Amino acid sequence: MNGKTILQTMKPYKPGKQIEDVKKEYGLNKIVKLASNENPFGYSPQVKEAITDISTHLELYPDGYATELREALVNQLNVKPDQLVFGSGSDEVIAILCQAFLESGTNTITATPTFPQYKHNALIQGADVKEVPVVNGYHDLDAMLNEIDENTKIVWLCTPNNPTGTLIEEASLIDFMERCPSDVLVVVDEAYYEYVRPEDAPDSIKAIETYPNLVVLRTFSKAYGLAALRVGYGVATETIANLLNIVRGPFNTTSIAQKAALIALEDQQFLQDTVKQTLANKKKFMEFLDRMGLTYYDSATNFVFVNLPVTGDELFEHLLTKGFIVRSGEALGHPKGARITIGHEEDMKLLQDLIEAYL
Ligand code: PMP
């Protein structure tokens, strides 16, 4: 398909059911949203003070370089300042990468199912998308390497993968980088990085020193609990980051979002506490699924993709009437399954009772 005619074949993004709509529709007082892998514990209490500070100069443009947040990340990640690019969520960094590297005549490689924004943005740029099915929820790295040809510009590795939750271990990532041509960009999307047990987490940012074609994406939307403020970032060589910083808008992250992200980053205790509680709740949920004889993918994240004897839509509709919003596998290319975010312990117990009674 030529140029922007592709846009005519696409549909605008429609978010899932909103909490207030569900309340009204079913006459419910409380809704538990377990559909978008947000942090049920919210965000660092210290962030609240910062974002409600009335002395914030809303009439001034934000610092387009996000200097303070950049400095904090430079120290935490042990990278150089110009290795970072910030975006309005990692969503925007994905779009910027596609704008910078993809065009008609090029192609890009993703797993399937995976986070749909790689494909979406690649198609907008007029690139071809080669989708390689996951195996048991894991990226088929050999098959992805086999798909690379002279027109391939970006390979996307979503690790842990959304929606399956599976992790690409360090040894597999390094092996992939060794075998991948150095002129092909490998984007490792680590949106759920903070939920990965430290002993399992690949040091992908360090690997950029050895593999300059590697780009790592992280976000403040998930474990840091700041999805509404939209801050994500990419880490790359200075050469690649410079290019991405040319493509991005000059003021693409707001002052309040930068400040909130900085404070959230500094409150590592809050992060550790909520991650610990989420992983404990996930373990209990997986034990419940085992007791029910339901299979699920091996998740290193704050969500679990469950295989169901009914369709994901059926379970979704049923749970909705009881005040729980989960994500049906239908739209994720896996109709007989559902992706369920790990919530508070008491909500997970209620959810388990509802699933048990329904199936
Ligand atoms: N990557 C993955 C794998 C995700 O699951 C998400 C959010 N669903 C994003 C990127 C985008 O996150 P954000 O734009 O909020 O940083």
Q: Which of 121, 219, 302, 339 to mutate to test the pocket of ligand 1 (most atoms within 8 A of CB)?
A: 219
Say what the pLDDT of residue 263 is. Answer: 97
CA distance to 205, 216, 284, 304, per residue, from 208 (Å): 5, 8, 36, 30
Residue 25 Cα to ligand 1 midpoint, Å, equals: 28
Residue 160 Cα to ligand 1 midpoint, Å, equals: 11
Please report where in the chains the tokens 């493509």 appear, as a residue.
Answer: 247
Say what the pLDDT of residue 3 is. Answer: 63
Q: Which of 43, 86, 91 to mutate to test the pocket of ligand 1 (most atoms within 8 A of CB)?
A: 91
Q: Give the phi and the psi of residue 234 in degrees, each rounded to 5.
A: -120, 150
Q: Is 127 in the pocket of ligand 1 (CB under 6 A)?
A: no
- The residue whose CA is least distant from atom 2 of ligand 1 is 191
Token pair in block for residue 338: 């559902």
- CA 132/CA 113 separation, integer angstroms: 9
- CA 33/CA 16 separation, integer angstroms: 10
CA distance to 91, 169, 244, per residue, from 134 (Å): 22, 15, 29
- CA 113/CA 228 separation, integer angstroms: 25
Token pair in block for residue 211: 């593999």
Label the pairing between strands 327-328 and 84-87.
unpaired
- Give pLDDT < 70 ranges for the chain: 1-3
Token pair in block for residue 353: 């009772």
Instruction: Kindly give the number of the ligand 1 atom that is closest to the alpha carbon of 114.
Output: 3
Token pair in block for residue 250: 């000059």
Q: Give the phi and the psi of residue 39 in degrees, each rounded to 5.
A: -85, 115
Say what the pLDDT of residue 1 is. Answer: 64
- CA 164/CA 138 separation, integer angstroms: 8
Residue 191 Cα to ligand 1 midpoint, Å, equals: 6
Say what the pLDDT of residue 56 is. Answer: 80
CA distance to 131, 140, 159, 312, per residue, from 286 (Å): 29, 24, 20, 18
Asked whether the ipTM of the predicted complex exceeds the cut of 0.95, the reply is yes
Say what the pLDDT of residue 4 is. Answer: 77
Say what the pLDDT of residue 5 is. Answer: 82
Sheet with 303-307, side-by-side order of all strands: 303-307, 337-341, 327-328
- Contact in structure between 125 and 102 (CB atoms under 8 Å): yes
- CA 264/CA 257 separation, integer angstroms: 10
Q: Which residues contact 39 (CB under 8 A, 6 or more apart)?
A: 222, 223, 224, 225, 274, 278, 302
- CA 306/CA 201 separation, integer angstroms: 23
Q: Is 302 in the pocket of ligand 1 (CB under 6 A)?
A: no
Q: Is 229 in the pocket of ligand 1 (CB under 6 A)?
A: no
Q: Is 223 in the pocket of ligand 1 (CB under 6 A)?
A: no
Token pair in block for residue 208: 């950029």
H helical segments located in the chain: 19-26, 45-51, 67-77, 89-101, 117-124, 141-146, 170-179, 204-207, 238-247, 255-266, 268-292, 312-321, 345-358
Helix (H) and strand (E) counts for the chain?
13, 12
Instruction: Kindly give the number of the ligand 1 atom that is closest to the alpha carbon of 192.
Output: 3
Say what the pLDDT of residue 218 is. Answer: 98
Say what the pLDDT of residue 2 is. Answer: 59
Say what the pLDDT of residue 13 is. Answer: 80
